[in-house]
Amino acid sequence: MRVFKRVELHGPARTLPAKYYTSEAVFEKERTRIFGQEWLYAGRLESIPKPGDYFLANVLGESLIVVRGADDDVRALYNVCRHRGTRMCEEPSGKFSGAIQCPYHAWTYGLDGRLMAARNMQSTPGFDKDEWPLAQAPVAQWEGFIFVSFADKPEPFAKAFAPLIGRFAKWHIGELRAAQRMTYELNCNWKLVAQNYSECYHCPVIHPQLDKLSPWDSGRNDLGEGAFLGGFMTLRSPGGSMTLSGHTTRPPVGDVGGEELDRIYYYSIFPSMLLSLHPDYVMAHRLVPLAVDRVHVECEWLFDPKTMDRPDFDPSDAIGFWDMTNRQDWKVCELSHAGIASRAYVPGPYSSNEGILQAFDEHYLSVIES
pLDDT, tens digit, 9 for 90 and up, residues 279-316: 999 999 999 999 999 999 999 999 999 999 999 999 99
Do 180 and 60 share a domain, yes or no? no
What pLDDT is recorded for position 2?
A: 86
Q: What is the DSSP code (8-state) at residue 237? A: S
Residue 32 belongs to some domain of the structure: no
Give per-residue pLDDT as tens, 8-21: 899 999 999 999 99
What pLDDT is recorded for position 266?
A: 98
Domain holding 212, by residue range, is: 168-368
Do 70 and 156 share a domain, yes or no? yes
Residue 65 belongs to some domain of the structure: yes
Q: Which of 111, 144, 165 is the last residue of a domain?
A: 165
Residues with Cβ within 8 Å of residue 190, at least 6 apart in sequence: 271, 287, 288, 289, 295
Residues with Cβ within 8 Å of residue 233, at least 6 apart in sequence: 200, 214, 215, 218, 219, 220, 263, 264, 266
What pLDDT is recorded for position 370?
A: 81
- Say if residues 354 and 199 touch (Cβ distance below 8 Å): yes
What pLDDT is recorded for position 1?
A: 73
Do 292 and 327 share a domain, yes or no? yes
Residue 3 belongs to some domain of the structure: no
Q: Give one word for 113, left, alpha or beta, with left for phi > 0 and alpha for psi -120 to 50.
A: left
Number of compact structural domains in the chain: 2
- Backbone φ, ψ for residue 76 (5° rounding): -120, 100
Q: What is the DSSP code (8-state) at residue 131? A: G
Do 228 and 323 share a domain, yes or no? yes
Do 115 and 230 share a domain, yes or no? no
Indicate the Cα dihedral angle 38, 42, 43, 49, nearest 10°: -110
Cα–Cα separations (whole angstroms), residue 292 to 20, 60, 95, 123, 363: 9, 11, 33, 48, 19
What pLDDT is recorded for position 77?
A: 98
Q: Which of 140, 165, 190 is the last residue of a domain?
A: 165
Do 157 and 294 share a domain, yes or no? no
Residue 13 belongs to some domain of the structure: no
- Backbone φ, ψ for residue 178 (5° rounding): -80, 130
Q: What is the CATH number of the domain that holds 329?
A: 3.90.380.10
pTM of the model: 0.96
Measured distance CA(241)–CA(263) in Å, rounded: 9
Do 135 and 264 share a domain, yes or no? no
- The HSE-up count of residue 179 (CA atoms within 13 Å, CB side) is 22
- Regions in the chain scoring below 50 on pLDDT: none
Q: Which of 115, 130, 165 is the last residue of a domain?
A: 165
Q: Crossing angle, helix 24-33 and helix 355-368, to 10 degrees?
A: 80
Measured distance CA(258)–CA(184) in Å, rounded: 35
Give per-residue pLDDT as tens, 187-223: 999 999 999 999 999 999 999 999 999 999 999 999 9
Residue 298 belongs to some domain of the structure: yes
